[in-house]
Amino acid sequence: MNSLFETTVVIPAFNEQDRLPRTLEALCTEHDGLSGVNLAEVIVVDDGSKDDTSRVAALFSGRLPQLSVVTLEQNCGKGFAVRSGLMNAQSEWILVADADMSTPWAELAKLASELKKHGGDVAIGSRDLPESDVVLRQSFIREYLGRTFNVLIRTLTGLPFRDTQCGFKLVRRSSVKSFLGDLTVDRFAWDVEFLLLARDADLEILEVPVSWEHRDASRVHPIFDGFDMAKTVLCLQLRRLRKRLFS
Ligand SMILES: Nc1nc2c(ncn2[C@@H]2O[C@H](COP(=O)(O)OP(=O)(O)OP(=O)(O)O)[C@@H](O)[C@H]2O)c(=O)[nH]1
Ligand SMILES: [Mg+2]
């Protein structure tokens, strides 16, 4: 394995004019210090934001020449935006990271180092392992619904992870590119489908404890989006069962 992780950072961003500048500012100042990582590309994917997300992102292109901003006319969802970033990324490693920087950039070096140590194709950041460092917790209701969603995922799909939804995942492009075209989930449950396809492809997936801090102004509605995510996982699983039975 190459000693340096050549990495593209993909940031899905919807109405993020207020949270994104701090996140990109930190990337400008910190990326040189990320041990073992070479930041080759940063792709911000803004689909139909009603605010100045694309413009404020583009202001960083002078200091971050690796930056490109993809602006789509219509809102298509986080999963759609992530998929578009994954398909356009050029580096061997791709970090998918939320615009709110709940997980600090320094954790990219940690994921890379774990992959280097243990081998593997995908490393997912986790807020729910004993060594995870949750600096500021979510509200009780968000945490409770998140845990319930996790139990649902583990029960229905058999995925063993404690936290599939943390917005900080490092994936090896050459390992995942064969199934990127099969991803269908456009909204918040994209991670579950991605992990299921990665498991089907026999990829090695590491769940790595990360530091995480709750940020206000979430784009996720705990009830409506929670319900939509549960429905999506149920449909995914039914579709997979049907495929297994009839093929
Ligand atoms: N491009 C795009 N990005 C989105 C969309 N919906 C959410 N996102 C991004 O997805 C990321 C996660 O959104 P957050 O609001 O932080 O939600 P979360 O981290 O899953 O949940 P919290 O723990 O409540 O913060 C952010 O970078 C959002 O801008 C969307 O429709 N399109
Ligand atoms: Mg968040």
CA-CA-CA-CA dihedral for 68, 71, 75, 76, to nearest 10: -60
Q: What is the rounded distance in angstroms from the CA atom of residue 38 to the CA atom of residue 91?
A: 10
Cα 14 to ligand 1 centre (Å): 7
Spell out the residues 6+ positions from residue 89 whose beta carbon is closer than 8 angstroms to its own.
8, 10, 41, 43, 173
- pLDDT, average across residues 211-238: 93
* CB distance 234 to 153 below 8 Å: no
Give residue 21 CA to ligand 2 midpoint distance, Å.
15
Please say whether the structural domain 5-138+162-217 has been given the CATH code 3.10.520.10.
no
Mean pLDDT of the chain: 96
Distance of CA 61 to the CA centre of its chain: 22
Give 28 Cα–ligand 1 centroid separation in angstroms.
21
Residue with the nearest Cα to atom 31 of ligand 1? Answer: 77
**Ligand 1, residues 43, 69, 78, 190: which to mutate, most atoms within 8 A of Cβ?**
78
Largest CA distance in the chain: 54
- Is pLDDT of 1 > 60? no
The stretch 117-144 carries a mean pLDDT of 96
**Collapsing DSSP states into helix, strand and coil, what is residue 56?**
helix
Type of residue found at 140? F
For 170-200, write each residue's pLDDT tens digit.
999 999 999 999 999 999 999 999 999 999 9
pLDDT at 50 over 60: yes
Q: For residue 100, report the distance from its CA to the centre of ligand 2, in Å.
A: 6
DSSP codes, 93-132: EEEEE-TT-SS-THHHHHHHHHHHHH--SEEEEESSSTT-
Q: Distance between CA 109 and CA 161 in Å, rounded?
A: 21
- Residue owning the nearest CA to atom 8 of ligand 1: 78
pLDDT value at residue 218: 87
Mean pLDDT of 158-176: 98
pTM over 0.95, yes/no: yes
Rounded CA-CA distance 247/150 in Å is: 29
- For 12, the enclosing helix (H) or strand (E) is strand 5-13
Give yes or no for residue 3 having a pLDDT over 90: no
Closest-lying ligand 1 atom to the alpha carbon of residue 75? 31
* Main-chain dihedrals φ then ψ at residue 91, nearest 5 degrees: -80, 165
Ligand 1: nearest atom to the Cα of 81: 1
Could you tell me what percent of the chain has a pLDDT over 70?
A: 99
Pocket residues: Cβ below 6 A from ligand 1: 12-14, 16, 45-47, 75, 77-78, 81, 98-100, 102, 138, 142, 167, 215, 218-220
Q: Where are the domains of the chain?
A: 5-138+162-217
Q: Give the model's pLDDT for residue 72.
A: 96
Confidence of residue 2 (pLDDT cuts 50, 70, 90): low
Alpha carbon of 3 to ligand 2 centroid (Å) = 31
In the reported structure, the alpha carbon of residue 218 is separated from the centroid of ligand 1 by a whole-number distance in angstroms of: 7
Phi, psi of 86 (to 5 degrees): -60, -40
Closest ligand 1 atom to Cα of 77: 31
